Amino acid sequence: MAGEGRKATGGASTGSAGAPAPAGSARPRRARDSLNRSVIIDAAIRVAERDGLSGLTFQALGTELGAHATSIYRHFRDKDELLLEVIDTLRDRSYGEALVSTGDWREDVLLVAAQIRQHYLRYAPFAHDMSARSTHRRTEFLTVEFTLNALEQAGLPPEEAALHLRLLGNYIRAMASFEATVACMDPELRVKDRVQMQVDSQGLDPVEFPHLSQHASALLPLEDPRVFDLGLEAILDSIAARADGGPR
Amino acid sequence: MAGEGRKATGGASTGSAGAPAPAGSARPRRARDSLNRSVIIDAAIRVAERDGLSGLTFQALGTELGAHATSIYRHFRDKDELLLEVIDTLRDRSYGEALVSTGDWREDVLLVAAQIRQHYLRYAPFAHDMSARSTHRRTEFLTVEFTLNALEQAGLPPEEAALHLRLLGNYIRAMASFEATVACMDPELRVKDRVQMQVDSQGLDPVEFPHLSQHASALLPLEDPRVFDLGLEAILDSIAARADGGPR
DNA sequence: ACCTGAACACCGTTCAAGT
DNA sequence: ACCTGAACACCGTTCAAGT
């Protein structure tokens, strides 16, 4: 995390130092009533996709809208409220329509997992921030309903279904967000990271760190896409076993 | 996340407005050579434990040290470097000594999982930030070595051990960090969240959301400690099965 | 060589003022 | 009623100046 690039400091206008703007108003006044939540959210998404979540400031958003930065406060209580709307809107666009049951509970879980994972990878720079937020909005409810249905189809009693709903939800978001975090490190830095890791582990005491010092290069580099499915299948197997042999 | 409290704005001194400090220097000059990385890290930990990670600013750290905020730059390149040191130091203090093999690979995995989880719950306000950072320092290597040993004891071939190392590492950090995130929401807000969730789900179309609208109250509230072990046991079972039946 | 002070370029947020 | 401008209280970071 921490720092996705070093700003860009505007291009031409908005000179607050330098020449103090000819005389008249700098930019034309934004048309009355042309601002609303939906317009602002769209602009915010454009900014975020271009500059990353850390580039999404009121300043940048104002520039994108051709409006004063503070005009957003008329439509959102604070930045966090705007952020939650952005997160849920992105989710909805990514997989709001895709959650249609296949009729097979296991396929259904794999489907929702794949959708969420793909979404995080697509918006890799915000994945970590997104993964920790509960929006309490439509797309979130859709996902819960869909997963709950799958778990009931599997034959899990209500209380166990609730536990596994949580397990799957956390697992999918967390693992996908980790995958995204490495995916969005710029490749140069990722290679440097890898080399550094090997150098570091080379310097370790081979008695204290036999595994690490022996085959560090073979073991450490990877963030392998198979890891995600490995754990998911393990959880699915566990669910299947419980549904069969459980108190029925 | 977002906002762990609304600052405190100093108590008495440092009045930059109000009265502009009698005349002489405000605070005594910090003794020469009394500042070093270790002293700064300790102070940073004190501040973080008191005010949360978001309260750990150079300003606050300077005050804690009785030194100028910018004096820290002589000892750390930037804030991120300081943060990584803080993270690894905390890890080391929490479970640096605890990773002693039990002789049973399964017990060993449960041990390292319990230690890391406990650590995140203890430092719940930074858990989410910590979970995404690789420090490449001693405690991290210790954890990897310990886990790798357990997986080899289980009988996993090297490549599969590497994959499962990643799976376990991500699973443990991610699940613990989610647990911590809810744990550190202040209780009042958590209850409000819960009620809000029920109200929201009440308003849903019962045809489109049968499970949710029916027994939302029973299903949604919990962040149950059992969830963590549920997934962990599933992964352990999967490892055991692979180690037995795999290419041996 | 080590610490300080002032300054810079940002943040989010508030509120009185313009239209 | 909606948008703007100026101001406030912060950030991290740089750099010339003090000791």
> Which residue has better confidence, A241 or A135?
A241
Q: Give A24 CA → C5 C1' in Å.
A: 37
**Average confidence (pLDDT) over B1-7:** 34
**Average confidence (pLDDT) over B1-16:** 34
Residue A122 pLDDT level (bands cut at 50, 70, 90): very high
Residues 6+ positions from A74 with CB-CB distance below 8 Å: A35
**Average confidence (pLDDT) over B208-223:** 70
pLDDT of residue B118: 97
**Average confidence (pLDDT) over B144-149:** 94
pLDDT of residue A142: 92
CA-based nearest distance B104→chain A, Å:
17
* Statement: residue B10 has pLDDT above 60: no
Residue A149 pLDDT level (bands cut at 50, 70, 90): very high
CB atoms within 10 A of CB A216: 21
The 3-state DSSP class for residue A7 equals coil
Residues 6+ positions from A143 with CB-CB distance below 8 Å: A99, A112, A116, A169
**Average confidence (pLDDT) over B2-16:** 34
| Residue B212 at interface with chain A, using a CB cutoff of 8 Å | yes
Cα B239–Cα B241–Cα B244 angle in degrees, nearest 5 = 105
Q: Is the CB of A22 under 7 A from strand D?
A: no
Q: Give B15 CA → C6 C1' in Å.
A: 16
pTM of the predicted model as reported, rounded to 2 decimal places:
0.85
Tens-place pLDDT, residues A27-52: 889 999 999 999 999 999 999 999 88
CA of B29: nucleotide with nearest C1': C3
Contact B232, B113 (CB under 8 A): yes
Residue A20 pLDDT level (bands cut at 50, 70, 90): very low
Q: Rounded distance, CA B36 to CA B40, Å?
A: 6
Tell me which residues of chain B, numbers 163 to 192, contact chain A at a CB-CB cutoff of 8 Å.
Answer: 163-167, 170-171, 173-175, 177-178, 181
Q: Which nucleotides of C are covered by protein (CB under 7 A)?
A: 2-6, 9-15, 19
Q: Which of A148, A175, A204 sits opposite B141 (nearest CB)?
A: A204
* Statement: residue B126 has pLDDT above 70: yes
Residue nearest the C1' of C14 (CA based)? A70
Residues 6+ positions from B20 with CB-CB distance below 8 Å: none
> Which residue has better confidence, A112 or B137?
A112
Q: Give A176 CA → D12 C1' in Å.
A: 31
Domains of chain B with bracketed CATH? 8-76 (1.10.10), 97-191+201-243 (1.10.357.10)
Check B212 against A181: CB less than 8 A apart.
no
* Statement: residue B221 has pLDDT above 60: no
pLDDT of residue A19: 34
Contact B176, B127 (CB under 8 A): yes
For residue B2 the two structure tokens come to 């977002």
**Average confidence (pLDDT) over B194-208:** 71
**Average confidence (pLDDT) over B150-156:** 95
* Statement: residue B232 has pLDDT above 80: yes
